[in-house]
Amino acid sequence: MNINLTLIGQMIAFIGFVWFCMKFVWPPIIAAMKEREEKIADGLAAADRASHDLELAKEKAVERLKEAKEEAAGIVDSANKRANQIVEEAKEAAVVEADRVKAAAQAEIEQEANRAREALRGQVATLTLAGAEKVLGAEIDQSAHNDLVEKLAAEL
């Protein structure tokens, strides 16, 4: 347990190691740790921001959804209205058309009837003449009795 040159040797070694640590060990490790610290802090801040953004986006989405629902309800409403309108219009159009068709049919029927009546009338005149000829047994001058026959036919 003698105090000797070892003491000086240890002092020199001590200085050397401290110098080495100060120069090559401490600064890079501390720098890396500080950088990481900042990185983590940034990351946490970003995460906070992101969650805040998410919250906002959720609110926005809910709002949008509400708006969209309202809009959709409006659209459905107006569509219903429009459909009713169309149906009404169609009904009206159908009634008008039906009336028109009915009128045309009636006119045609009348026309047919008239035409038939005319034809019938003509034939009645002929038949009457033929009948009268047979009854009288003589020939009737068609031209002399034409007025009479015409009158008769008109009375039918």
Residues that bind other proteins (CB under 8 A): 1-11, 13-18, 20-22, 24-33, 35-36, 38-39
Decide whether 9 or 74 has the Cβ nearer to other proteins: 9
Q: What is the full DSSP assignment across the chain?
A: ----HHHHHHHHHHHHHHHHIIIIIHHHHHHHHHHHHHHHHHHHHHHHHHHHHHHHHHHHHHHHHHHHHHHHHHHHHHHHHHHHHHHHHHHHHHHHHHHHHHHHHHHHHHHHHHHHHHHHHHHHHHHHHHHHHHHHTS---HHHHHHHHHHHHHH-
Decide whether 34 or 151 has the Cβ nearer to other proteins: 34
CB of 47 to other proteins, least distance (A): 17
Decide whether 3 or 154 has the Cβ nearer to other proteins: 3
CB of 5 to other proteins, least distance (A): 4
CB of 27 to other proteins, least distance (A): 8
CB of 4 to other proteins, least distance (A): 4
Decide whether 34 or 66 has the Cβ nearer to other proteins: 34
- For residues 67 and 75, give the distance between their C-alpha atoms in angstroms, rounded to a whole number: 12
